[in-house]
């Protein structure tokens, strides 16, 4: 692949958007390669994924404006669907995905970060939805996920004004969980991913499903979903080992994803 790199370190997969000449902007090729990269992740051995951008300046500076500039309505819709399908795939990916936002996260870049489970960023990060300044709406889920992440007031201000916010404001808004000096961002992301990866994979996956799907339901249906997923963890080897280790006052011998 020429625009996306993938590496695996232990149980953590690292997906890097690598198109530095355009500040990692998302053209069709990047969207296709991201999809193929996620499809190829080995879910037997990988337990958490980190998504980041190549270089020190930009996570993803948006959808590719050059490519979008001449689209017809039908092509614009198709481009939006390509991005939306991919971002939904990442959002519902069976294992947690962390966005390590290392610079500009604008438009489609902010939307890519928003479809991840957890966002952390570097001090030079900037988040924004500049689309209305380009004559379009956010098209990869920004009008939906930003609202859910920071609430309607802040999301509307960001979207209507097209102004970006800096890392500390993103932290205050709850858009990111933590801010690090740039050099410390990837080590922090890997540490966070490692802390997730060492827990029982079946249980972690069930938590992601419960949280993602439960927040779309009324409370009665949501707790019923939680009960089902809770029940599904029992009789697994990992549940037995996790509880046995506690009762025997020893460390877990390593969860097996069984
Ligand atoms: N697309 C294409 N190229 C981009 C780009 C982008 N989004 N962002 C940067 N680049 C390119 C620049 O054109 C430049 O290329 P060269 O001129 O060197 O060939 C190179 O990256 C370096 O950028 P700058 O020279 O501009 O670098 P600066 O440090 O001066 O400025 C910047 C950095 C991030 C502030 C600036 O590049 C910038 O404002 N970029 C655009 C940011 C932006 O507006 N992003 C949002 C894009 S809109 C939809 C589907 C999707 C979407 C909407 C609707 N539907 C189908 C409904 C999504 C929309 C977006 O994401």
CA of 174 to the centre of ligand 1 (A): 25
The model's confidence at residue 116, banded by pLDDT at 50, 70 and 90, is very high
- Model confidence over 211-248: pLDDT tens digits? 999 999 999 999 999 999 999 999 999 999 999 999 99
Locate CATH 3.90.226.10 in the chain: 4-197
Give Rg (Cα) of the chain: 19
The pocket around ligand 1, CB under 6 angstroms, is made up of: 22-23, 25, 61-66, 76, 79-80, 83, 104, 106-108, 130-131, 134, 136, 138-140
Atom 44, ligand 1: residue with shortest CA distance: 130
Query: What average pLDDT does the chain have?
Result: 97
Atom 54, ligand 1: residue with shortest CA distance: 139
pLDDT value at position 195?
A: 98
Helix or strand run (H / E) with residue 119: strand 118-122
Q: Which CATH architecture has domain 201-247?
A: Orthogonal Bundle (1.10)
pLDDT value at position 148?
A: 96
- Active-site positions read 111, 131
pLDDT value at position 160?
A: 98
CA of 203 to the centre of ligand 1 (A): 39
pLDDT value at position 7?
A: 98
User: pTM for the full model?
Assistant: 0.97
3-state secondary structure of 227: helix
Q: Are strands 126-128 and 178-180 parallel, antiparallel or unpaired?
A: unpaired
CATH superfamily of 4-197: 2-enoyl-CoA Hydratase; Chain A, domain 1 (3.90.226.10)
The model's confidence at residue 110, banded by pLDDT at 50, 70 and 90, is very high
- Model confidence over 56-88: pLDDT tens digits? 999 999 999 999 999 999 999 999 999 999 999
Can you tell me the distance from the alpha carbon of 106 to that of 182, in angstroms, rounded to the nearest whole number? 18
Atom 6, ligand 1: residue with shortest CA distance: 64
Locate CATH 1.10.12.10 in the chain: 201-247
Can you tell me the distance from the alpha carbon of 77 to that of 184, in angstroms, rounded to the nearest whole number? 39
- Model confidence over 28-63: pLDDT tens digits? 999 999 999 999 999 999 999 999 999 999 999 999
């Amino acid at each position: 692949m020429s625009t996306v790199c993938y590496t695996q370190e232990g149980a953590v997969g690292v997906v890097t958007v690598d198109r530095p000449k355009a500040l990692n902007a998302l053209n069709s090729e990047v969207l296709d390669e991201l999809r193929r990269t996620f499809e190829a992740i080995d879910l037997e051995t990988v337990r958490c994924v980190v998504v980041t951008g190549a270089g020190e300046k930009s996570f993803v500076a948006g959808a590719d404006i050059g490519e979008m500039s001449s689209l017809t309505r039908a092509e614009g819709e198709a481009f939006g669907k390509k991005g939306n399908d991919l971002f939904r795939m990442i959002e519902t990916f069976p294992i947690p995905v962390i966005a390590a936002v290392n610079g500009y996260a604008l438009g489609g870049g902010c939307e890519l970060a928003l479809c991840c489970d957890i966002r952390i960023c570097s001090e030079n990060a900037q988040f924004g939805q500049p689309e209305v300044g380009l004559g379009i709406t956010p098209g990869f889920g920004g009008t939906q996920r930003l609202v859910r992440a920071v609430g309607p007031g802040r999301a509307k201000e960001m979207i209507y004004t097209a102004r970006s916010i800096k890392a500390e404001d993103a932290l205050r808004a709850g858009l990111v969980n933590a801010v690090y000096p740039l050099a410390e961002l990837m080590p922090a992301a890997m540490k966070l991913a490692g802390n997730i990866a060492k827990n029982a994979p079946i249980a972690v996956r069930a938590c992601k499903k419960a949280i993602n799907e439960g927040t779309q339901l009324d409370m009665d249906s949501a707790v019923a979903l939680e009960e089902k997923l809770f029940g599904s963890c029992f009789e697994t080897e990992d549940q037995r080992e996790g509880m046995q280790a506690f009762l025997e006052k020893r460390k877990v011998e390593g969860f097996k994803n069984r």
